Chain A
């Protein structure tokens, strides 16, 4: 079965960078699909952040401008989120999710990792 598992620091100081890892088991991230990061703010709003495709191409939400980078390590079947210059507004639960490349619905999700930005 496909499983995704996020990991991260839990707490980051303002102006620093956050780095999160998504470890995928049960499916190779180079076979197919888009591998996404989605976050959920306090109050439940969901925001799609971006993806790295099975081929290695990336797409990002313009709202994150140049702060975001999604990369991967195919040998470990992992993909990563880096978000620079974080503020308290980046406090959220971060999910990784698999997206179907025909219509970009998200069929498998990780359990989420909570990130707090605070000094």
Chain B
């Protein structure tokens, strides 16, 4: 199975900061990498597909980049509603796998 390693595990930030979350794949997955946000007691929400493609209804402060094995989710000027867990997921292999997540918390 393809392993996705997310870092850092926890990121403590102040509203207004800009942040980058990392997701690294154990082998090349082209751009078949997707990002989700999960707030406490809610289901995950798709933020970015195909590493960098935006999703309708998602604020423009969220952006993604990368290909191959290294991917980044960037949030430009974090807002209080952005705090929660972020997961990456790959679909290059038919056994779809998720990263372990990055928790974005208020400093």
- Spell out A's residues near B (CB within 8 Å): 44-48, 59, 61-62, 95, 100, 103-107, 109-112
Contact = CB atoms under 8 A, between A and B. Distances in A.
Interface of B: 32, 34, 36, 42-46, 49-50, 55, 85, 87, 89, 91, 94-98, 100-101
A44 B85 contact: yes
Nearest to A6: B43
Nearest to A93: B43
Contact of B98 (A47, A103, A104, A107): A47
B101 A105 contact: no
A48 B97 contact: yes
B9 to A, nearest CB: 10
10 closest residue pairs by CB, A with B:
A104-B91, A46-B98, A105-B34, A109-B43, A48-B96, A105-B49, A107-B46, A103-B91, A112-B43, A44-B101
A95 B43 contact: yes
A61 B95 contact: yes
Contacts of A100: 49
A111 B77 CA distance: 28
Contact of A103 (B32, B36, B42, B55): B32
Given A44-B85, A46-B87, A105 B46 contact: yes
A45 B100 contact: yes
Nearest to B89: A105
Nearest to A107: B46
Nearest to A109: B43
Given A44-B101, A46-B87, A106 B95 contact: no
Contacts of B34: 103, 105-106
B54 to A, nearest CB: 13
